[in-house]
Amino acid sequence: MRLTTKGRYAVTAMLDLALQGNGTPVSLADISRRQQISLSYLEQLFARLRRQSLVRSVRGPGGGYLLADDADDISVACIIDAVNESIDATRCQGAGNCHNGETCLTHFLWSDLSDAIHDFLSGITLGELLRRQDIRAVALRQQRSSTDADTIVAQ
């Protein structure tokens, strides 16, 4: 199973945006600090997310990014698809050339698993994740850690 950092980071950043936004733009620098994801990497991801109309940018002071749709309308699979990430359990990336250029014995099993994972993630929205208490507890801890780090730097 391969879900690379691109897909993981995109989902993490979008969830952070959903948690912190509350109708106001969130800067990529803030997401970067809270989630410990490189700012330049986030810029690349958000360019893709914007092209797929999952986020919209707000320029100027206090600018940043907002979700383009309601969190209940954005699935995890949609985010992963937007950054051109695939969830693929096959060794051949679905090409069917896994056994000396031909389809291997278990190709269809792994292909079906990939489809089932994608279907599973299509059924989970950012809104559902936002309502989970365990996720909210982690977000609160991250927010506190981020604020504490800012206070230390300012002193």
**CATH code at position 43:** 1.10.10.10
Query: What's the number of domains the chain is made of?
Result: 1
Interhelix angle 5-21/39-51, rounded to 10 degrees, is 80
pLDDT tens by residue, the chain, 155 residues: 467 789 999 999 999 999 998 889 999 999 999 999 999 999 999 999 999 999 999 998 889 999 999 999 999 999 999 998 777 788 787 788 888 888 899 999 988 998 999 999 999 999 999 999 999 999 999 888 877 666 555 54
Give me the domain span that covers residue 35: 5-85+125-154
pTM comes to: 0.86
Whether 79 is covered by a domain: the verdict is: yes
- Answer whether residue 103 is part of any domain: no
